[in-house]
Homo-oligomer: A and B are copies of this chain.
Amino acid sequence: MKTVIIGSGNVAYHLAKALLGSGVPLVQIFGRNTEQLRSISYETGVPFSTETLSDADLYIISVRDSTIGEVSRKISNPYSLVVHTSGSIPLDALEGNYHKGVLYPLQTFSKSKPLDYKKIPFFIETQFPEDRVILKNFIKNISPKIMYADSTQRQYIHITAVFVCNFVNHLFAKGKEIADREDIPFEYFLPLIEETVEKIKEVTPKQAQTGPAVRNDKNILVRQENLIQDEMALAIYKIMNQSIQKMYEL
């Protein structure tokens, strides 16, 4: 399958690396940002363009959510399969007369950080049932973890990812603010953080819960509320404890 990647952000970069690493050649990387395209092209050896989109069997659109519709109108081959990679955008945001699909990699990408692509779950959706097999066989080159999810399911997958990745990272950031203020090196918390993740591989998060809220230790809850100086940290503290206590009916 002649494959073109459209976009030059973190997802486009890593998909290009993952595909080339699995022996899938790319015809072109297409986009607007010349500098980023040149950098990906230099690293991968794939030609890039900001002007003329190559003809292809498969177009993978990895651009910011708000520009997917606009970008997808550049493709005119009705036999092509055109997929975007967004968690929150429905399949029919692709505007054009071609085969539509979605290829959502459930991972957080930064350009600087290498990833084990084989571990990434891919959620796929296609407009036509026959394209499902085609897309699945294509992605099997990267990862064996492929699951079908329609646009509604995918939106909830994305929301879950926001909770377990984006919000978790923000708790790390707020925790670090508190530790920094007391001159406690944040790296001391890494074994605790790693163990928090290790636990949920063996028991459910609900079973793994520890801390003053689930112990219903009101003395500590009140004392900690009084110690937290940052307004947003305090708001988070209150709502999280309330939610923990509601989950355990305390």
State the A residues within 8 Å of B (CB).
64-66, 88, 106-110, 112-113, 115-116, 119-121, 145, 147, 149, 152-153, 155-176, 178-179, 181-184, 186, 188-206, 208-215, 217, 219-220, 223-224, 227-228, 232-233, 235-237, 239-240, 242-244, 246-247
Contact = CB atoms under 8 A, between A and B. Distances in A.
A223 B155 contact: yes
Nearest to A189: B164
A170 to B, nearest CB: 5
Which of A116, A176, A195, A201 has the most CB atoms of chain B within a 10 A radius of its CB? A195
Contact of A210 (B169, B204, B233): B169
Secondary structure dominating the interface of A: helix
Contacts of A215: 64
Given A106-B189, A173-B205, A205-B170, A220 B88 contact: yes
Which of A168, A181, A190 has the most CB atoms of chain B within a 10 A radius of its CB? A168
